[in-house]
């Protein structure tokens, strides 16, 4: 991204920050005792009571007037136990195609949008230890799903980030 002047604050910025979530929504809602007892939360993998399995990845929204740039969310997605185990065992490999594409459900409430928890996503592993990309499955009308498909302007991205403390 080229340096640009922000339409909200007037400052010059080099990049758009990634808006990240430390853990899934139900981890954040849990008290510290429950977190310690029931969750195994790492930087990229999360297990809850050996019943729910989540991975962290990248949910990009393209910037239409700044080709190649994205507003990116670092989010958690719930996946099946089988896919979790396959992902855990192979995401460091050099050939992400060994995993193939699979599906999951968004596990974060992204501020500024109607409910985003449980939106269906396609998980696209990257291999090499890189976080996977998430692409919405457009099975229902939702503003964020539409934005990922159509993109947003740089001004829209900057305003969203400023309103949510992203800068």
14 alpha-carbon distance from chain centroid: 21
Going by pLDDT thresholds of 50, 70 and 90, the confidence category of residue 142 is very high
Give all strands (DSSP E) within the chain, no chain letters.
4-5, 12-13, 19-20, 39-41, 45-48, 52-62, 70-79, 102-106, 120-124, 133-136
Q: Could you report the per-residue pLDDT of 37-88, keeping only the tens digit for each?
A: 999 999 999 999 999 999 999 999 999 998 888 999 999 999 999 999 999 9
Q: Could you report the per-residue pLDDT of 22-43, keeping only the tens digit for each?
A: 999 999 999 999 999 999 999 9
Domain ranges of the chain: 19-160
Residue 102 tokens, joined: 């699979």
């Amino acid at each position: 991204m080229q340096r640009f002047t922000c339409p909200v604050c007037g400052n010059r910025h080099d990049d758009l920050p990634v808006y990240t979530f430390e853990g899934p929504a139900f981890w954040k809602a849990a008290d510290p005792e429950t977190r310690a007892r029931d969750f195994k939360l790492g930087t990229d993998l999360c297990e809850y009571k050996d019943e729910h399995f989540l991975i962290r990845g990248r949910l990009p929204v393209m910037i239409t007037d700044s080709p190649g740039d994205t507003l990116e969310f670092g989010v958690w997605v719930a996946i099946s136990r089988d896919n979790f185990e396959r992902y855990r065992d192979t995401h460091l490999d050099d050939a992400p195609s060994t995993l193939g594409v699979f599906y999951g459900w968004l596990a974060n409430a992204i501020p500024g949008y109607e409910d985003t928890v449980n939106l269906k996503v396609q998980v696209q592993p990257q291999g090499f230890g890189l976080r996977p990309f998430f692409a919405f499955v457009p099975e229902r009308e939702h503003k964020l799903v539409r934005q990922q498909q159509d993109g947003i302007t740089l001004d829209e991205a900057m305003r969203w980030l400023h309103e949510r403390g992203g800068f």
